[in-house]
Structure 1
Amino acid sequence: ASEFKKDTKTFQSKKGEVIETKKQGSKKCEDVFAAAMHQSKEDQDKSKIYYLTSRNLDEKKLKEREKKQSYIPVDFEDKLKKLKEKEQREREKEEKRLKKLETKKAKLEETQKKKEEKKMLLEKLKKEAEEKKLLKKEAKKVEEKKRKKLEAKQARLEAKQKKKEEKEALVKTLVKEAEEKKQLKKNEKHMESEEVKADDLPSSIVTKKEQTFVDDDVIKVLLMTDDLLGNLPEEVIDKFAQSEDFKLYEKVISKYKTK
């Protein structure tokens, strides 16, 4: 019984040692695991620092650093690759966006240019229309002035023609009277000398009581006067027709007309 108790104590003692040994081993594993985790965390931190510092370097330097930093975990290399691919996609996306904006800007500039050209064309057409309208108005004024001038000239020509016709009629009348006078002179050779003298006086053709005859010299003077008036400029004739002398001229002409 005493040996059994001894063995039991020995067993319990060994069991305690084993348990203690197991506890110590477990603690060591935990320490090793914690140290590994800590080391892994430090490696990851270093990798992140490396990534951040080497991000803006060119590809050649980046490759050299990647070769030197062999401790970078494989999963981080994958992440780095994915990040690069993402950056590439973002760059391409940004380039497309910028290109699209440039295209849109070019279209807007082209549209604005067309609007300005259209505006300038409309202003030019409007200006040309106004100039044509002004020219048409000026041409109308010139035409109206020309028409009035032609009408005035036509009126002067008609007045001149009328005067010419009146002069011709007067000449015919005077010639007729002269012929009648000659004929009457032949038939009145036996009249008294006073009556003959009376015939030589430049008196009116028509009187209240008796008819007398115009002297040949008076007829010549009247014909010369009409010829001179007919050859004068229209302005002089118009001025003469509006003067008091013309009234006297008409009075003398009408004095030798037969009724």
Structure 2
Amino acid sequence: MVRKILVVDDEAVLIEAIAYNLEQSGYLVVTAMDGMSALDIARKESPDLIVLDIMLPGMDGLEVCRQLRRDDRTATVPIIMLTAKGEEIDKVVGLEVGADDYVTKPFGRRELLARVRALLRRVDYPAPHGASTSAQDSADNAGIVPPRSMLTAGPLTIDQAGRRVNCRGQDLELQPKQFDLLTYLVRNRGTVLTRDQLLHNVWGYDYAGDTRTVDVHVRWLREKLEEDPANPKLIQTVRGVGYVFRS
């Protein structure tokens, strides 16, 4: 199946370069050069992934991301945010409004392609616990679909192959990274996990020391899972260490 990717940037040269590299890797690419066009195209074209620049004329990328997440048609589409500044505040705000990943300009072709492949693979199905990325890539190339497996913990039921989560009888819409983080926490329920462990095992690359990323995603999960997010019972903070899932 050919995957469709929406690339949004106001620099025509950069859009052309990104589109060319994605197309050479077998993806179908649609483009937009401003925020309003991006929203319209995303709703009409139903892309499998969006590469979204923060700095756009009119409506910036952050507001585009917010609106995409509020729309049922685009709420769970993986989003990679592009930022030219490289400052932590830009990355954190991007994650808080719903982005799944970010790339700082200037970036290499291989870096962007690696992140695109990783996000699309997670949408298809999560890697088995402890499996390496190369092992998962081999499974992808061989057309192997891992067996359906269910995780249950307290009020949660997680369909790992279908990437669906049910909590207290209601289906939840989770972004790819939220699903991956929750699944990893549940698989290791009762074990206190450091932020660095979570970064390494859920994000996997280029996030060394960027522990705020974990905190942002935990807060999003708590808002969706906990009866009282201010007094969490499922995902608990272990002060000075990290987080633990208790069922």
Per the shorter chain, which TM-score range? under 0.3
TM (norm. structure 2) is 0.18
TM (norm. structure 1) is 0.17
**Which one has the largest radius of gyration?**
1
The answer to which structure has the higher strand fraction is 2
The answer to which structure has the higher helix fraction is 1
